[in-house]
Amino acid sequence: MAIKSKVLVVGGTGYIGRRIVAASLAQGHTTYVLKRPESGLDIEKLQILLSFKKQGAHLVEASFSDQDSLVRAVKLADVVICTMSGVHFRSHNILLQLKLVEAIKRAGNVKRFVPSEFGMDPARMGGALEPGNETFEQKMVVRKAIEDANIPHTYVSANCFAGYFVGNLSQLGTLTPPSRDQQVVIYGGGNVKVVYVDEDDVGTYTIKAVDDERTLNKTVYIRPPENVMTQGELVAMWEKLSGQQVQKVDLSAQDFLASMEGKDVATRAGIGHFYHIFYEGCLANFEIGEDAAEASSLYPEVKYTRVHEYLQIFL
């Protein structure tokens, strides 16, 4: 049996980070989680970290303001996975990873680095709308630093997280299904293919990839085949499961983009990302080439969560 890599997770208390840590432990990896002193009195983060410790994870204190401490942390692991937030409505820390890249260069022992991506493939988003383009541009800056330093890597494109896109039928500004008197916005007819992925599955697939030579220096797209569907199909699935019809209003691309006017930066960024997903079809309008891989094909043994299973939580 192959020896499993030791894994260091940076951002382990975050939305995706928690799933990465859980998957690493579940799959039998020696797992380290970075504990940053900057967290201060954030009791929720501390409790999450302590819960990981109870499950067998090792907490490693290091700070992005202390490069030597980062190097020491990195030297403990074979694989480094970063899950720091890169969305405007939370925190936008993508470029902070450049310090982590420098630490990996100095440590010299890392066999694989997985930077914080986990959404749309930034390499395909060169024409993205402002201000949401900032996320993709900064991720590409980090990629360049990784590749210039010849750091072995895997990029993970996890598409639409179920928590943000499935239960709400892909509506902005809410996370739950519509009530009887709420309308559901259908984006441009609702006929564009989208990829929905359960967040726990993102963790599972990511950890499976870190010791897999087939994913070395490649992008791994998480496209579970039964979860590739249109928004229209998602809404129809909810109607069938719930036994009730929803009120639908179709919104043209022009009117959708016009809704950006007067909004704050985070909202405008979100509208731009929705436009690329639901009008342009940026998640599924291309074939995965030889320089990339698809997770559910690589790991057919993973019983990923189907969209209809996720929707049943809300019944």
Which residue numbers are catalytic?
A: 139
246 phi, psi to nearest 5 deg: -105, 150
